Amino acid sequence: MGCFFSKRRKTEKESRPENEEERPKQYSWDQREKVDPKDYMFSGLKDETAGRLPGKVAGQQFLIQDCENCNIYIFDHSATVTIDDCTNCIIFLGPVKGSVFFRNCRDCKCTLACQQFRVRDCRKLEVFLCCATQPIIESSTNIKFGCFQWYYPELAFQFKDAGLSIFNNTWSNIHDFTPVSGELNWSLLPENAVVQDYVPIPTTEELKAVRVSTEANRSIVPISRGQRQKSSDESCLVVLFAGDYTIANARKLIDEMVGKGFFLVQTKEVTMKAEDAQRVFREKAPDYLPLLNKGPVIALEFNGDGAVEGCHLIINEIFNGTKVLHVH
């Protein structure tokens, strides 16, 4: 059988005109658009503003290295971002599906969202962060953290494309791999820190096309107090069950509660199992089990004197019987 095919190939070759070369086989992976790494890299820039517009990175890996005195804006989602040997730079990163890794950087101000955040051998970074897992620093000093605060029209879709939830943000729960006795290598930025004083909106013609807002009430990620000291002994947990308007309802409730002077401590979007429901809802758990099958719940923790009653009033007034549950 092998001889048969061998012979046939020879015959085909002999019958082909002399000046016609044999065409290489075409495979589907050969027809994909070739990715040029240079399109996904800023290297060796100095005193420049550079960026990528929405749709220009589209989930690729990105590298920023050896940049000095630069303003860099990635207005798109990416797979991972590595930032090496950068000094005195301002950096904005749209949602990153995997990790953001800073190495050997100093005096940088950043706003970014990612699944994992790591800093190694860095000093004096100020980061407005949305991170789905515990941020990690190593062999670094004077790293300051605040909550992500940023908006542009494409950003909500980019969070979805990167597989990130705007409600899963552990920005202030830092783990230091190399703590020094008696010193703190990281701290939280002042609560009244204005994000635009750290990471200003770009002013170049190309990047101005992105309609950015840094106003707190427009931020795609809800601004939470995280690990900051609570102002009151009274907290209120609200659970919103999956439905068509869950995200909109959560945003509305946050706006109303914050507008009345309560603090948003933390947010979570999680799939609740039966045992979780038993722990949270106790004797009412059986009533809520069918609702848990519809999808992940959004949990919000508010703090402030009168938070429970205030939440009751808002839910009755605005949501009018929507399946929202609060526990305290």
DSSP line for 21-58: PPPPPP-GGGSSPPP-GGGGEEES-BS-EEEE-TTSST
Mind listing the pLDDT tens digit for each residue in 145-175? Answer: 999 999 999 999 999 999 999 999 999 999 9
Using DSSP, state whether 211 is helix, strand or coil: coil
Cα dihedral sign for 272, 275, 278, 284? positive
**Which helix (H) or strand (E) segment is 303 a member of?**
strand 297-303
In this prediction the pTM is 0.86
Amino acid identity, position 285:
A
pLDDT of residue 30: 52
DSSP conformation class of 61:
-
Query: Which residue has tokens 């790494």?
Result: 37
pLDDT of residue 6: 36
Using DSSP, state whether 279 is helix, strand or coil: helix
List, edge to edge, every strand of the sheet that includes 297-303.
263-270, 297-303, 235-240, 324-327
Query: For each successive 10 residues of the chain (328 residues), what is the average pLDDT?
Result: 39 47 55 74 97 96 98 98 98 98 98 98 98 98 98 97 98 95 93 95 96 94 94 92 88 94 96 87 85 90 95 84 53
In terms of DSSP bridges, do strands 235-240 and 324-327 run parallel, antiparallel, or are they unpaired? antiparallel
Q: Hey, what are 181's tokens?
A: 């006795």
pLDDT of residue 23: 56
Q: Hey, what are 131's tokens?
A: 């991170």
**Backbone φ/ψ region at 216: left (φ over 0), alpha (ψ -120 to 50), beta:** alpha
pLDDT of residue 254: 95
Q: CA torsion angle for 122, 150, 99, 52 (degrees, to 10)? A: -90
